[in-house]
């Protein structure tokens, strides 16, 4: 179960990275309009990292 | 024998797991995007994602504040308890009264949109086509939920968990397919550059965006029923806050840069962008997620069938949490002598706070009548057009929802700052980041910068609400004034301090709270802090 949760957390981080890269690519023409998208990508990465840290803590306790 | 609350109301069992705690919050806050998306797209147009971003940043601050407070003071009273303890009784009442407005609106607004989502599969329920049928079904749902709560039937934590899990999976699938096959970054940029709203519309959209983030009271309600809340609540809350923020930002970005699967045209046959189906169309505003899901390539064929049903169920759970939550908040306020003891009375047979439930359900029905009146009676409609910029039913409910949330959250930030200064000895296992160490009344305290940022943000949203909502700026402050008048009369009648606070022993109360929560280490730490502080003061005195 922990393995699948970890996999999901990594998937969330990857999705966040993809969104971040796509938004960053549109930065020259979009300028500030890509800001909400960049925050979205950062939030996804933060969620994934938070989930991974919880899993690491649980594994440390086992 | 009259059912006295203190003897008849059993102590809440602490049996909520981390997932249970998450799903409890999710079923409350997660449903908000189903209501907020269409309204924000209708007003903020090309800046909808910016409106969600602003409200989302404020929401993160609020979420962190609730997490710290709920982990430090794990009691079900929520915002009103924190504010009462940090700022005093009268401010606690105002915060609690604003939360009660939100809970009663919650009942009506979510029952209303639950019917709107159902109308996607049952066209007879479309409000503009059959307003009386729509009104009747919403009324039936409110009355039904009231009765279910009176006889003590609640949806189980398992049911909440299953619906929340299904919804998280469903929304993730919609967003994944949407971003993979229908999202065009260039279209998003083009929409934002060519359909940027006026400052008035942007303020209105931002004030509506905050309704996508209402329901954080559930964090403190879950804290009361979670074992070791100081450890569990921060873990689940951070996940909840980020998940809700991600969904809100993802939906708004996707909607603006969305290439619909099937072309959308207006009556004249002109092609429309997806977000353009929402302005001036309350029927569409009430079921935005279902409409978006149906237009997602490939997955939309399947999503069109189940998203309206899932949305309707999630919204109904949220509506039910309004009935349940209002009675619980009223109960907590009554035990603190902020409301009369009648709100503590429990039914002899069903052992539920029947009077509270019926009282706040009646208020919810009155709000429903106000919201539905323009559609039901043409004469009233012209009155609304003349005096209230023609606000429709959904807009009226959203106005008051935003007002209640912004008011109560503003006080919660002030309560957090107050508690940091007046109660520095309570152990805080979770603290919001960015604190400035300083001394206050001889104690070392940490001043929370994020709370100040959050307060400025939520206070701006409160101002936007008052400035841009003709109905909200009349009914919201009227609700607060009426409540305040009632509070002053009640406190005077009971010979309690009217503007001041009742003397309370917070030290004993806090020790008891931590003991009941099973946080024995924190309780020991708190007692040691008290002893050290007393010894220090005694030393200074001699």
**Predicted confidence (pLDDT) at residue B321 exceeds the cutoff of 80:** yes
- DSSP string covering B54-72: HHHHHHHHHHHHHHHHHHH
- DSSP string covering B251-317: HHHHHHTB--SS-EE-TT--EE-GGGGSTT-HHHHTTHHHHHHHTSTTHHHHHHHHHHHHHHHHHHH
| Per-residue pLDDT tens over the stretch B388-402 | 666 677 888 888 899
Distances (CA, A) of B52 to B58, B107, B230, B245, B451: 10, 23, 30, 9, 20
> Terminus-to-terminus CA distance in chain B, angstroms?
54
Percent of chain B with pLDDT over 70: 94
Q: Do B67 and B219 form a contact (C-beta atoms < 8 A)? A: yes
- DSSP string covering B298-354: THHHHHHHHHHHHHHHHHHHHHHHHHHHHHHHHHHHHHTTSS-GGGG---TTT-S-H
| pLDDT band, very low/low/confident/very high, at A1 (cuts 50, 70, 90) | confident
Contacts of B189 in chain A (CB under 8 A): 26, 29-30, 33-34
| Per-residue pLDDT tens over the stretch B268-285 | 888 889 999 999 888 899
Contacts of A34 in chain B (CB under 8 A): 185, 189
Contact with chain A for residue B240, Cβ under 8 A: no
Interface test with B, best of A43, A47, A50, A58 (most B CBs within 10 A): A43
Contact A34 B185 (CB under 8 A): yes
Nearest CA in chain A to B244: A43
Q: What is the mean pLDDT of residues B204-229?
A: 81
| Per-residue pLDDT tens over the stretch B447-458 | 999 999 999 999
In this prediction, residue B8 carries a pLDDT of 47
Q: Distance (Å, rounded) from C-alpha B307 to C-alpha B300? A: 9
Residue B481: how many CB atoms within 10 A of its CB? 10
Residue B436 neighbours by CB under 8 Å, 6+ apart: B446, B447, B449
Contact with chain A for residue B235, Cβ under 8 A: yes
**Predicted confidence (pLDDT) at residue B346 exceeds the cutoff of 50:** yes
Distances (CA, A) of B135 to B109, B132, B382: 12, 5, 19
Interface test with A, best of B57, B191, B250 (most A CBs within 10 A): B250
Interface test with A, best of B22, B58, B185 (most A CBs within 10 A): B185
Nearest CA in chain A to B232: A54
Q: Do B55 and B213 form a contact (C-beta atoms < 8 A)? A: yes
Beta strands in B402-513, from DSSP E residues, in sequence order: 435-440, 443-448
Per-range mean pLDDT, top range of B56-60, B380-384, B496-500: B56-60
Backbone angles phi, psi at B307, to 5 degrees: -60, -40
Contacts of A51 in chain B (CB under 8 A): 239
Helices B393-422 and B449-468, packing angle to 10 deg: 150
Q: Do B96 and B409 form a contact (C-beta atoms < 8 A)? A: no
Residue from the list A19, A37, A43 with its beta carbon closest to the beta carbon of B245: A43
Interface test with B, best of A40, A49, A50 (most B CBs within 10 A): A40
Contact with chain A for residue B246, Cβ under 8 A: yes
Give which of B478, B422, B66 is closest to B233, Cα–Cα. Answer: B66
Contact with chain A for residue B56, Cβ under 8 A: yes
- CB contacts < 8 A, A to B, total 57
In this prediction, residue B542 carries a pLDDT of 57
Give which of B197, B202, B186, B216 is closest to B54, Cα–Cα. Answer: B202
Q: What is the mean pLDDT of residues B299-318?
A: 92
Q: Do B68 and B431 form a contact (C-beta atoms < 8 A)? A: yes
Nearest CA in chain A to B253: A37
Residue from the list A26, A33, A50 with its beta carbon closest to the beta carbon of B239: A50
Backbone angles phi, psi at B443, to 5 degrees: -115, 150
Contact B249 A36 (CB under 8 A): yes
Contacts of A15 in chain B (CB under 8 A): 176
| pLDDT band, very low/low/confident/very high, at B327 (cuts 50, 70, 90) | confident
Which residue is it, tokens 């450890």?
A: B231
Nearest-Cα distance to chain A for B67, in Å, is 15
In this prediction, residue A13 carries a pLDDT of 93
Q: Is B445 helix (H, G, I), strand (E, B) or coil?
A: strand
Q: How large is the ipTM?
A: 0.89
Contacts of A52 in chain B (CB under 8 A): none
Contact with chain B for residue A49, Cβ under 8 A: no
3-class DSSP string for B108-160: HHHHHHHHHHHCCCCHHHCCCCCHHHHHHHHHHHHHHHHHHHHCCCCCCHHHH
Contact B52 A36 (CB under 8 A): yes
Look at the domain B13-327+358-424+436-504 and name its fold.
Amino acid/polyamine transporter I (1.20.1740)
Give which of B393, B391, B215 is closest to B320, Cα–Cα. Answer: B215
Contact B253 A37 (CB under 8 A): yes
Give which of B65, B80, B63 is closest to B28, Cα–Cα. Answer: B63
Q: Which two tokens stand for residue A44?
A: 């996804």
| B39-43, B156-160, B181-185, B201-205: the lowest-pLDDT one | B156-160
| Per-residue pLDDT tens over the stretch B355-387 | 889 999 999 999 999 888 888 888 877 777 777
> Terminus-to-terminus CA distance in chain A, angstroms?
14
Nearest-Cα distance to chain B for A3, in Å, is 17
Give which of B168, B127, B146 is closest to B374, Cα–Cα. Answer: B127
Nearest-Cα distance to chain A for B460, in Å, is 19
Residue B531 neighbours by CB under 8 Å, 6+ apart: none
Distances (CA, A) of B142 to A62, B30, B194, B206, B367: 47, 20, 42, 28, 11
Contact B50 A35 (CB under 8 A): yes
């Amino acid at each position: 179960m922990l393995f699948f949760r970890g996999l999901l957390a990594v998937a969330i981080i990857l999705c966040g990275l993809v969104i971040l890269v796509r938004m960053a690519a549109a930065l020259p023409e979009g300028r500030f309009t890509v800001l909400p998208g960049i925050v979205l990508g950062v939030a996804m990465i933060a969620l994934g990292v938070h989930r991974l840290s919880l899993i690491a803590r649980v594994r440390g306790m086992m | 024998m009259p059912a006295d609350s203190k003897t008849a109301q059993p102590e809440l069992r602490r049996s909520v797991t981390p997932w249970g705690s998450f799903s409890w919050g999710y079923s409350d806050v997660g449903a908000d995007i189903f209501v907020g998306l269409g309204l924000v797209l209708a007003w903020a147009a090309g800046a909808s994602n910016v409106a969600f971003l602003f409200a989302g940043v404020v929401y993160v601050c609020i979420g962190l504040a609730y997490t710290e407070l709920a982990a430090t003071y794990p009691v079900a009273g929520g915002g009103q308890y924190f504010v009462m303890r940090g700022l005093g009784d009268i401010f606690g009442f105002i915060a609690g009264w604003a939360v009660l407005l939100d809970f009663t609106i919650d009942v009506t607004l979510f029952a209303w949109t639950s019917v709107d989502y159902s109308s996607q599969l049952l066209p007879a329920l479309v409000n503009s086509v059959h307003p009386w049928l729509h009104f009747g079904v919403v009324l039936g749902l409110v009355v039904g939920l009231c009765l279910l709560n009176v006889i003590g039937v609640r949806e189980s934590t398992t049911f909440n968990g299953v619906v929340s899990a299904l919804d998280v999976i469903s929304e993730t699938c919609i967003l994944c397919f949407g971003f993979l096959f229908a999202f065009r970054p260039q279209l998003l940029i083009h929409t934002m550059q060519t359909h940027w709203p006026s400052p008035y519309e942007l303020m209105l959209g931002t004030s509506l965006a905050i309704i996508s983030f209402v329901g954080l009271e559930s964090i403190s309600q879950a804290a009361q029923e979670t074992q070791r809340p100081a450890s569990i609540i921060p873990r689940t809350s951070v996940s909840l806050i980020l998940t809700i923020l991600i969904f809100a930002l993802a939906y708004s970005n996707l909607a603006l840069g969305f290439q619909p699967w099937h072309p959308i045209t207006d009556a004249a046959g002109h092609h429309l962008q997806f977000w353009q189906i929402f302005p001036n169309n309350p029927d569409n505003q009430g079921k935005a997620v279902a409409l978006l899901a149906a237009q997602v390539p490939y997955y939309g064929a399947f999503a069109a069938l189940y998203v309206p049903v899932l949305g309707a169920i999630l919204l109904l759970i949220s509506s039910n949490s309004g009935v349940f939550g209002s009675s619980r908040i009223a109960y907590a306020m009554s035990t603190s002598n902020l409301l009369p003891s009648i709100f503590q009375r429990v039914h002899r047979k069903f052992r539920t706070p029947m009077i509270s439930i019926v009282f706040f359900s009646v208020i919810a029905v009155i709000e429903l009548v106000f919201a539905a009146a323009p559609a039901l009676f043409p004469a009233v409609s012209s009155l609304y057009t003349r005096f209230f910029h023609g606000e429709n039913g959904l807009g009226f409910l959203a106005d008051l929802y935003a007002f209640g949330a912004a008011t109560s959250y503003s006080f919660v930030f002030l309560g957090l700052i107050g508690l940091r200064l007046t109660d520095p000895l309570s152990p805080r296992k979770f603290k919001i980041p960015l604190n400035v160490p300083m001394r206050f009344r001889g104690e070392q305290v940490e001043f929370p910068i994020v709370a100040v940022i959050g307060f400025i943000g939520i206070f701006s949203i409160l101002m936007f609400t008052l400035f841009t909502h003709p109905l909200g700026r009349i009914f919201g402050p009227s609700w607060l004034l009426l409540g305040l008048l009632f509070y002053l009369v009640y406190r005077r009648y009971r010979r309690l301090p009217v503007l001041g606070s009742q003397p309370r022993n917070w030290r004993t109360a806090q020790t008891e709270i931590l003991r009941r929560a099973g946080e024995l280490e924190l309780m020991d730490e708190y007692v040691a802090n008290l002893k050290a502080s007393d010894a220090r003061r005694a030393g200074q005195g001699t």
